Structures are given as C-alpha cells and as structure tokens.
Amino acid sequence: MSNNPKFFKDVSIIHNLNFHSDHKMVRAALTGIPMKRTRKYLINNSRIVCTGESEALSANLKLLAKNQHFNKDLSIEEKYNKFIQILKEATRKTNTEDNRAISKQTQELLQERKNLIKGKEDKYKISEISKKINEQIRKDRKIKRDNTMKKHIEKTGGIKKAIKELTVKKDWMPKVKTDKNNYTCKRPEILELATDYYKKLYKSNKSGRA
C-alpha cells in the first residue's frame, strides 16, 4: 500500500470475527496530516428531532417539567441547560422509531452464529445460519427502505429526501499535496497526482528482469 513503512503503526490481525470466511482481517493505524477546516459557528447542542406523536411529547414534557423545580436564583444559562435536558429526555421517551437497519431477529441470528464459531461447531451449521442471516438482512433493508419512503411521502409528499437519506455517500478526496509542496483541490489534478504516485509505487527498481 505504501513504500514508506513509517505511515503505518500498530499493524495486527483481528481474530474471531463474526464472519463466515477463511480470510483474516488486518487492522492498522495510519499517520497523516489532519485537514483544517474553518467554521464560523460552533453549535454544541445537536438537533432534537421528535419522530413520535406530538401529544405524547407534550404529555412527557408536562410530567418532567412538573417534577423539576426551577430555582429563582438560577442564571439564564443554567435554566436553559436544564430545559434542554428536559426536552431531550422527553423526546427520547416519545420517539419509538428504531433507526437501525438490522432487526432484532437478525441480531439473534448473528449472536447464534457467534456462539457456534466460539464453540467450534461444524462448518455445515455455520454455513446454514449464514444463509439465513444474508436472507434476513435483505428483508431488513427492504423494510427500512419502504418505511423511509413512506415517512417522507407522508411528510413532504415526495421521495427526494428519502433517496438522499438512503443513499450511501462516498466523498472525494478534498485536497492533495503536490510535488511543489502546496495543495490542490482540482479533481483532474488530484487524479493525475494519484496516477503518477501509483505508477512510481509499483514500478520495479530492479533492472535486467522482465
């Protein structure tokens, strides 16, 4: 992967993974230069989104607010932080939607296969349960896709946001250091630099051999 071994550290092999395969996974930590990004604003509190019923949220807020006593001596910031804490707790109790793509049945099958691998059961049992896991994962993905489509159609009347949520993004490399010790963000130049790098990397340094 690289002609400079200093880029790699803590290289190790991961054993006993919950995968039905004879291959071993290699894990390593890479050293690099962190990319600096300028941000005008910094918001510590993430968005609080309620996916449940508004009536249930209102009832939970009233119950929590009733049990909490706001001291008059508290500052505005302390009152605000306390209110945010109440709002988060009420929203968490109201939200019943599970955003995980894997169902409980699939998790049980994965745990069962993990126990079989640990118990060194025969490969036939592991192979059979692996087929069931693959089939169940396909069903889970279809259910999640249908539920996501339904949610956005009912909310906005379209599927544009649903497709955006379901699409797995692959970001391009934002910038690359050139031979002149500066950086470029242009995609054609990045592709050219990457091509030249791998040409030099895989070029043989030994002469006289085919």
* Chain centre distance of CA 208: 49
Residue 32 has pLDDT above 80, yes or no: no
Same domain membership, residue 118 and residue 75: no
Where are the strands (E) in the chain, listed by range?
Answer: 8-14, 25-30, 176-177, 183-184
Is 144 a domain residue? yes
Categorize the per-residue pLDDT at 40 as very low, low, confident or very high, splitting at 50, 70 and 90: low
Same domain membership, residue 154 and residue 137: yes
Same domain membership, residue 180 and residue 138: yes
Please give the full DSSP string across 178-197, using - where no structure is assigned. Answer: -TTS-EE--HHHHHHHHHHH
How is the chain split among helix, strand and coil, in percent rounded to 5?
50, 10, 40
| Sign of the torsion formed by the C-alpha atoms of 151, 154, 156 and 160 | positive
Same domain membership, residue 89 and residue 16: no
Structural domains counted in the chain: 2
Predicted pLDDT at 210: 44
Same domain membership, residue 150 and residue 104: yes
Tell which residue, 131, 136, 46, has the closest CA to residue 92.
46
Same domain membership, residue 176 and residue 189: yes
Is 47 a domain residue? no
Domain assignment of residue 10, given as a range: 5-33+98-196
| Cβ atoms of 153 and 159 closer than 8 Å | yes
Same domain membership, residue 102 and residue 88: no
Same domain membership, residue 120 and residue 85: no
Is 59 a domain residue? no
Same domain membership, residue 133 and residue 189: yes
Residue 33 has pLDDT above 80, yes or no: no
Tell which residue, 17, 15, 23, 18, has the closest CA to residue 110.
18
138-190 pLDDT, tens digit per residue, is 998 888 888 888 888 888 888 888 888 888 666 677 888 888 888 888 888 88
CA-CA distances (angstroms) from residue 80 to 58, 68, 74, 131, 175?
A: 18, 13, 10, 52, 40
Is 41 a domain residue? no
CA distance 141 to 163: 14
Predicted pLDDT at 123: 84
Is 107 a domain residue? yes
